Chain A
Amino acid sequence: MLKGSREGTSIPLDAGLYGASMQVLAKDVVTEYINCEAVMAFFTTSEEVDALLPEGLDLYSNPPNAAVFIANYPYSTLGPYYEMFSLIQVEFNGSMGYYIPYIYVTNDSALAAGREVVGAPKKLANIGIVKENDTILGYLERPKGKRLLSLSVKPEQRISDELIESLMPRRLELYSLAYCHQSRVVMD
């Protein structure tokens, strides 16, 4: 690609925004996260969310299930950041998974990697998790001050492993819509 320099997995190729630039030393091209915390809520929603799904995915249940998730990643190989995403529970080839119609982050590496590699439709936003008294509040604002989501949780008891496994199996299938512009635009 470039005539000479060390090349990474993303542009700028000699100083990539994401991805290991010395891949021969990397064990695998994965993103790793350590010491994360999150609040999440599962709920039933309207069948109208079917209109948000791409071809090939179907709603998994009737009524459909959905979720919102707000996380703090204090360390990752993309840098520290907060993330919020919405999920719609779907079925693909007989398996349960989640489609991501909306996702927000606070970090440019995470934004570009998500959009360019897996098609996660990330935007930047103001996202936070606040702990006050007996409640944990996760919030999403875009722009700052325009509150789009408040998710408050009072964590008062352990949740069963069976319930977690049914909603979020260890290998969670996530779906998003990768898209590459092929348009050729000719100037006048």
Chain B
Amino acid sequence: MLKGIPFDSPLYEIDEERGIEYRNCKAVTALFTIKNDVSELIPEGLKSLGNGAVWVSHYGFSTVGTYNEYISVIQVEDEVGDMGYYIPYIYVTNDSALAAGREVAGAPKKLAKIELTQELDVVQGILERPTGKRLVTVTMKPNIRAKELIEYILPKPTYLYSVRHLPPIKGKGGVTQLIKWYANVDFHLDPSGEKVIFSGPASVTYDSPSVIDPVHKIEIGTILSAIYFEFDMKLGFVDILRELR
């Protein structure tokens, strides 16, 4: 087991074989072309493939608690040719998820206000930090079955990359590493046996840009696909790809 401090009552415990497990989740995600040069956001060892995505999700149950999450990703290729997503920005609503993500995988999580709601014919995901400072709004109308796109957007496994950085104390003890991890998404089936994955028209806006939380650095070109889906998931760790300086 990977345990976070305090060791006699850990903030998180991760079964190394099973990973972090999620049940009864829902998410909206939009994949888009990136309009600007984002190479400065990416660490050595990864190459941008030119697309990005935003993800807003609600996890009804997980082994690090119930929470909401927002993720910005850049689609990349690593040095062995695997396609995946580098995570420059990620936000959660739960301390266990925050600490486990930062300390084990290097996911640069912060706390924020994140909501995934349905109103009228629209699914909406929002990110605010602090509350009232709207950084991102994702709206989509899930009106078309989208199963043919899913192997491209969320293959199994979906590789994820992040930079784990624990600062040194007076020059001792720090680490900076490129971490490769993965998500295995299992889509829910509806009563007719079809996966609950819908696509439809979507918009992604950076409503009120902030230098403190610069998610707007990944500029949105053309939206290639947007999907709403319901699922279970496992997160696990692949390897430390390299030590960075």
Question: Footprint of B on A, CB under 8 Å?
Answer: 1-5, 9-15, 17, 19, 52, 101-102, 108, 111-112, 115-119, 121, 123-124, 176-181, 183-188
Known: A1-B163, A1-B165. A108 touches B111 (CB 8 A): yes
Q: Are the CB atoms of A2 and B41 closer together than 8 Å?
A: yes
Whether, in the assembled complex, B82 has its beta carbon less than 8 Å from a beta carbon of chain A, the answer is no
Shortest Cβ distance from residue A188 to the other chain B in the assembled complex, whole angstroms: 8
Q: Which of B95, B157, B212 contacts A15 (CB 8 A)?
A: B212
Whether, in the assembled complex, B126 has its beta carbon less than 8 Å from a beta carbon of chain A, the answer is no
Known: A11-B102, A117-B167, A185-B236. A177 touches B108 (CB 8 A): no
Q: Are the CB atoms of B104 and A181 closer together than 8 Å?
A: yes
Q: Are the CB atoms of B2 and A183 closer together than 8 Å?
A: yes
Q: Are the CB atoms of A179 and B99 closer together than 8 Å?
A: no
Q: Which of B157-196 contact A (CB under 8 A)?
A: 157, 162-167, 169, 173, 175-176, 182
A176 to B240, CA, bound (A): 26
Whether, in the assembled complex, B200 has its beta carbon less than 8 Å from a beta carbon of chain A, the answer is no
**Residues on the A chain within 8 Å of B244, using CB:** 1
Q: How many residues of B contact A (CB 8 A)?
A: 54
Question: Footprint of A on B, CB under 8 Å?
Answer: 2, 4-9, 11, 16-17, 19, 39-44, 88-89, 95, 98-99, 102-104, 106-108, 110-111, 157, 162-167, 169, 173, 175-176, 182, 211-214, 217, 236-240, 244-245
Q: Are the CB atoms of B11 and A1 closer together than 8 Å?
A: no
A180 to B106, CA, bound (A): 12
Q: Are the CB atoms of B39 and A4 closer together than 8 Å?
A: yes
Shortest Cβ distance from residue B79 to the other chain A in the assembled complex, whole angstroms: 14
Q: Are the CB atoms of A11 and B245 closer together than 8 Å?
A: no
